Structure 1
């Protein structure tokens, strides 16, 4: 019962983080680019969109790390190895997230207008990196969970 609750919570949290990043990268950001804001207005709008989001993501990341560790501790074999691997991927994504939240955004807020395009490109690269890391961990955890349920 405990393992089922942990797996359900873990997969739901992973889907939430992965889905929100995918939505931002594939839907929101391309649409924002079509509004034709001047650079100052675009930066103001993007900052408004991002404001406060880190404190919504931090508990999700903490819970993902905790549930992945708990599932790894309560299982054995391939399931344990998969969740340990997922734990490493989530930790790597969390490190990128911390860099974005506490280094990249402050630098961006105080950047000169000519520095903004490079910072936007750097953010996109970091965002795609997080999406790939979290998506890979989520897919591995999901496949392993479904596979283990069949056995």
Structure 2
């Protein structure tokens, strides 16, 4: 593999690791700490809004780079086996699902949460947690499949 594809692989894997790591950190470190810091669910919500403000477009950029580098790697791939293509297709489906969930959170769920009444917050918080865990699982599985593609037989 020449330098160009290796560079694309490194950018692709690095961006995927960044997205995966930031989701895991938020889910397992930041959110539980905010809950412990504040006794009032409305204060927790306020703190989460402050932390989330301005994060949508950087993540859109990460996801865009992930898709662009993934497409470039597929287009630059040498002749591959049917198994390799199946893994790549599976990864694309997982990333499409994660991208769709991110779009729902960003443009549908988050505005609903920002303008929610205090009584609505517990249900919305539970829904966001489930979506976050699902997104983490989708991105983690896609990342693992990406690693498998580097070890798949090619011919």
TM-score (norm 1): 0.91
The residue that corresponds to 1:51 in the other structure is 53
User: Please, which runs of 5 or more residues in structure 2 have no aligned partner?
Assistant: none
How far is 1:85 from its partner? 2.1
RMSD value, Cα = 1.7
Q: Could you give the per-residue CA deviations for residues 116-139 of structure 1, whole angstroms, max 9, x where no partner exists?
A: 000001101111111011100001
SS of residue in 1 equivalent to 2:38:
coil
How far apart, in 2, do the equivalents of 1:85 and 1:66 lie?
Answer: 17
> Which of residues 61, 64, 69 in structure 1 aligns to 2:66?
64
How far apart, in 1, do the equivalents of 2:84 and 2:106 lie?
Answer: 32
CA gap 1:144/1:85 in 2 versus in 1, 3 angstroms? same
How far is 1:148 from its partner? 4.8
The residue that corresponds to 1:82 in the other structure is 87
The residue that corresponds to 1:19 in the other structure is 21
- Runs of 4+, deviation exceeding 4 Å: none
User: Please, which runs of 5 or more residues in structure 1 have no aligned partner?
Assistant: none
> Which of residues 130, 133, 140 in structure 2 aligns to 1:135?
140
Q: Could you give the per-residue CA deviations for residues 69-108 of structure 1, whole angstroms, max 9, x where no partner exists?
A: 2222222224443233212211110100000000001001
How far apart, in 2, do the equivalents of 1:12 and 1:24 lie?
Answer: 18
